[in-house]
Chain A
């Protein structure tokens, strides 16, 4: 996927107002099946997979022993005893190695990395659902034909993600473009997800930060029983003083925020931006940063250092962008 086709702003607004298509074939697809699949996955993932009926999907995270994030992913229950995991491209090998190493010895679970076999397209925007028949309900998955249709995305808009055999990917892409979806690149994918405060692994998620720090508690089922990383989360939850990932905007029109910019409060450095940009929908500069609990309340006054100049900033409620339909 290129950074842009017609321009990031143009592509971004097409997704917000009509429809765009992203080639996300780089993402990974794992299939986990067998009588032990559900119980085993629930020991590796933070959300409660037992809540999924066949045809449902959920956002979830896979943690290391320290409670840090290995990857965030969506898991779909495609059959009573089969699950599809869609994972980040840069983490395919690490995820596969981690999962394989933790497979139960009794043979009750089969793990298969099918990442090379599937092309994937994200078709997103208010007009996207009309571009394909037989869509599953929100967060759901539909299998059975030559393609897998997932009613999910990374933009905050309605739409779907279509998995097709690798050789069929470009024909599907063309088909959606012909139907009116604008080709979109990595740049718009980033601005769209940032307006929604969806985390990006490698920026806002890391092996050294827990999902509680990343403000993803709704996707962590502490009461489902043991899972890898839970002990750290339980301790953090009891203590309550951990850093949190917050949404920050510049108060006035200014430069786009970028990851690695230093965040100040009362002249003292308090954190570093993990993501940043300028919001094409809203017209102001936005970012996210892990800040100490004392500086995470909405309305907290901050400054961001951009090339030596401090710009007034403020903690705001997530997400930045709200659909006004």
Chain B
């Protein structure tokens, strides 16, 4: 590989601009775990995550000259990932609407099928689906802060929002999640505490 792995992101970008595609591969391998985690948090669907992830890096390659290094490259890529995820969410909304009730609807036609009843569903799955029902402005902060573990300051920087806005959206987003998950809490309090 013609490019040293120790090079900084900015140095790698310069190499890419000179036509060295192996530098782009290093950038991609360096940042793809964070990009994948954010998109998966936003979409909750591995196939869509793969497609949107590809689009993130292709979009970055096409507009690489626009990256001026004002923010960290990871921040820049996550911004692209969030924006493309929201585009995907909007496309899905146009295709079909998912209501809160769908969260607890059983895949089985048998109402007595205990395996598929909400009580026995994995909390994580329910929580992921609950996050998918949130409005995108809440979803963004919940995914970055709660799912991906960015600090509130980092979340504010990635989303280019004031810290106060991030905190209030976090509060509202969490309250909405609690409301959505109320039926689950009632039955699974013990399970929840063991996770």
Specify whether A and B are partners: no
